[in-house]
Amino acid sequence: MHLYSNQQIKIYNTLTGEKEVFQPITDGYVGMYVCGPTVYSNVHLGNVRTFMSFDMIFRYLKHLGYKVRYVRNITDAGHLENDADVGEDKITKKARLEAIEPMEIVQRYTVDFHNVLNTFNFLPPSIEPTATGHIIEQIELIQSIIDNGFAYVVNGSVYFDVHKYNESNEYGILSKRKLEDLIHNTRALDGQSDKRNPQDFALWKKAEPTHIMRWPSPWSDGFPGWHLECTAMSTKYLGEFFDIHGGGMDLKFPHHECEIAQNQAAKGQAPVKYWMHANMLELNGARMSKSTGNYINPAELLSGHNDIMSKAYNPSVVRFFIMQASYRSVLDLTDDGLAAAEKGFHRLMDAIGLIDNLKTSSSSSFNVSDWKQKCYDAMNDDFNTPILIASLFEAVKIINQIKDGSASITAEDLATLKETVEAFVFDILGLVNISKESTGSDKLTSAVEILIALRKEARLNKDFALSDKIRDELAEAGIQLKDSREGTTFTF
């Protein structure tokens, strides 16, 4: 029997604003779609947090025995720079600035995206479709929307008619916005737009002569609208009605709202049963933003090469820190918070390292069965990882008490305890036991420390050529040195 048969999950559904009992459309199977990155720049930590939340959800559903098809797309065309229907395509703009092909930009930042997620121990999705790989499906979808009377063609571009749609459907059903309020808060068109109304959005844009990324269509040589891509790809691989659609809170409006409208207009039904949204990541109490300088990227955080954090942090420590908050809560990334998470992480790993050497007894002073269900209850309550972690630290306390002889456990309960802890820590939370990994690098650490000592001696002897050579060659090998008043430290 699969675990999902006796573990009832409740999911907070953004569509209804309530926690609902999770009942897949097809028993034993889950279809989940998560909006992936637009690959025109390095992935930022806010994105990492969102994708990490859904990686954890994917892991838990698989743990319960569901057969999960997890689709996470790559947007490699059609996302304009202000998320509206004007301006330049983000990828095209970056390619023009660097004087290279757009697909070189796509390749560079798709590789970066995968490298970063691999560093944080993500599972790969079942399918990772690209927008440019599904142009035909998007053209067919647009034609269906036109045929059903919810879109219009102007000068080679195609726009979704929000006002027409709202006559028979509810535009704003997900974000709880009313079209009347949107009209009131939107400035009138300036006469330069092809749109009938400011609230309408592009399904297909005619390419200007200078626009590099373009495809033939019945209406013009052009490119698809950003909102359209996810509707085409999600329904192609998960069906016209599927279980879970996830993404960041910032995508709820207009992106996900438009997805609902497009699917309803084309297929005559809503696309998704449960809408899930992960909340934002802040930095030192303020919105993370490149423009304000309140920003740190994953590589800077992990290497320690930044002016915000006091040291480098291991990817598993960062992952543990993120898992200490509910995916629906705003999370503030701080040096103090990461340092505290690091201590807690090592306490957890140290306790796990003790399990195999614990002495067993004829009776248990700890109800392992009840504790195990508490772990499941936490995850079943909308994937409540902070409560799960609190339960795991109950086990840490018991493990240490058994080691000290102030608590006892039977061999059978010890096996259950070990299996449960390892399942939740490694398989579901996705942590890696770095204390075990680090033992294999002791010799490398010693070698680097010898080179640091030689570099220090070279600098004292004013042999700066040798000093720089040691630093540069270590950097080429992926080992970064950081000089301070206290001495030289390094990170792998």
Q: Taking Cα atoms as reference points, which of 16, 20, 28 lies closest to residue 61?
A: 28
At residue 355, what is the residue type? I
Structure tokens at 228: 């359209």
Whether the model clears a pTM of 0.85, i.e. scores above it, the answer is: yes
pLDDT single digits (tens) 43-59: 989 999 999 999 999 99
In the predicted model, is pLDDT for residue 276 greater than 60? yes
Query: Rounded mean pLDDT of 152-181?
Result: 96
Q: How confident is the model at residue 192 (pLDDT cuts 50, 70, 90)?
A: low
Q: What is the mean pLDDT of the chain?
A: 92
pLDDT computed for residue 302 by the predictor: 94
Q: How confident is the model at residue 485 (pLDDT cuts 50, 70, 90)?
A: low
Distance CA 108, CA 292 (A): 26
Distance CA 456, CA 190 (A): 66
Are 209 and 296 within 8 A, CB to CB? no
pLDDT computed for residue 437 by the predictor: 46
pLDDT single digits (tens) 361-412: 999 999 999 999 999 999 999 999 999 999 999 999 999 999 999 999 999 9
pLDDT computed for residue 436 by the predictor: 47
Q: Strand pairing partners for 205?
A: 223
Q: Taking Cα atoms as reference points, which of 199, 291, 194, 304 lies closest to residue 254?
A: 199
Q: Is the dihedral of CA 142, 147, 151, 153 positive or negative?
A: positive
pLDDT above 90 coverage of the chain, percent: 76
pLDDT computed for residue 92 by the predictor: 86
In the predicted model, is pLDDT for residue 175 greater than 50? yes
Q: 83: buried, middle or exposed (CB in 10 Å: 19+, 13-18, 0-12)?
A: middle
Helix (H) or strand (E) holding 224: strand 222-224
Contacts of 223 (CB under 8 A, 6+ apart): 77, 78, 89, 204, 205, 207, 211, 213, 214, 215
Of residues 462 and 437, which shows the higher confidence score? 462
pLDDT computed for residue 80 by the predictor: 79
Question: Which of 389-424 are b and which e, b meaning 16 or more Cβ less than 10 Å from the residue's Cβ?
Answer: bebbeebbebbbebeeeebbbeeebbebbbebbeeb
Are 274 and 260 within 8 A, CB to CB? no
pLDDT computed for residue 478 by the predictor: 74
Q: How confident is the model at residue 441 (pLDDT cuts 50, 70, 90)?
A: very low
Distance CA 275, CA 280 (A): 17
Query: Rounded mean pLDDT of 323-341?
Result: 97
Q: Strand pairing partners for 333?
A: 283
Q: Strand pairing partners for 483?
A: 488
Structure tokens at 167: 């006559």
Structure tokens at 336: 């103090």
Q: Do you find a cis peptide bond into 254, omega within 30 degrees of 0? A: yes
φ, ψ (nearest 5 deg) of residue 318: -65, -45
Distance CA 261, CA 244 (A): 17
pLDDT single digits (tens) 92-129: 889 888 999 999 999 999 999 999 999 999 999 999 99
Hey, is 295 helix, strand or coil? Answer: coil
Distance CA 362, CA 9 (A): 35
Lowest mean pLDDT among 10-19, 77-86, 397-406, 470-479: 77-86
In the predicted model, is pLDDT for residue 440 greater than 60? no
